[in-house]
Amino acid sequence: MYFDIEAVAAAEDTGMSAPALRGRMLALLHPLFAAKPHTYALAIPAGRQAVCDKGGGVVRIFASSRDDLDALVASLSQLPWMRDYARLHYPAAVPENYKGAWVAFRRYRVPTLKSDRKTGAEAGQLRQRRMLGMQKEKMDYFVVSSKSTEQRFTLAVRREPGTPPQAECLPNSYGLCSAHNLFCVPDLP
């Protein structure tokens, strides 16, 4: 089961970028995902045209049951930003005979200059390589403000083709997979 969350403001000229809109949605989803570990998987709908048509402020949430999606929608509906600036689409089921592509969404870490342990000429080189990789692959990203550290950061997401899950999916608190918990979701339009 899945549903989309679309930022209503994305279709208007708000001055906010799609990564900033998605980042605001992710900031609101993150504590709800953390409260129910391994329940919700996050995806960014495929297709540059689809993203551009909706201003890019769209995320897709997968869960294994309708009850889990309903609980999430009930929590999201209480949040003023979601109520005022986002549209929650009606949940839909992934077709049982789905034969389409599968994709994994994994966080792509770009270290900060502060976290770089190298000094001298090597300082910042890993950050530069990672940023170039992010640009080359045209990765989607979120601009997120952390409530705990009060810092603003970019959370890059790497889209990787894959196969249907063979084991239990264990999304992290951002709804993404990791190197240790790799899983894929249907790559629906």
* End-to-end CA gap in the chain: 14
Q: What is the pLDDT of residue 151?
A: 79
Contact status, residue 142 vs residue 157, Cβ threshold 8 Å:
yes
Q: How far apart are the C-alpha atoms of 112 and 109, rounded to whole Å?
A: 9
Instruction: Report the pLDDT value the prediction gives residue 12, as an integer from 0 to 100.
Output: 56
71-88 pLDDT, tens digit per residue, is 999 999 999 988 888 889
pLDDT of amino acid 162: 93
pLDDT in tens, the chain (189 residues): 999 998 875 545 556 677 777 888 899 999 999 999 999 999 988 764 445 555 557 899 999 999 999 999 999 999 998 888 888 999 999 999 999 999 999 999 888 777 777 777 777 788 899 999 999 988 888 888 877 777 788 889 999 999 998 888 999 999 999 888 999 999 988
Predicted confidence at residue 49, as pLDDT, reads 47
Stated pTM of the model:
0.85
- How far apart CA 11 and CA 137 sit, in angstroms, is 25
DSSP 9: G
**C-alpha distances in angstroms, 62 versus 26, 54, 116?**
14, 20, 35
DSSP 182: -
DSSP 89-150: PPPBPPPTT--S-EEEEEEE----TTT----GGGTTHHHHHHHHHHHHTT-EEEEEE-TTT-
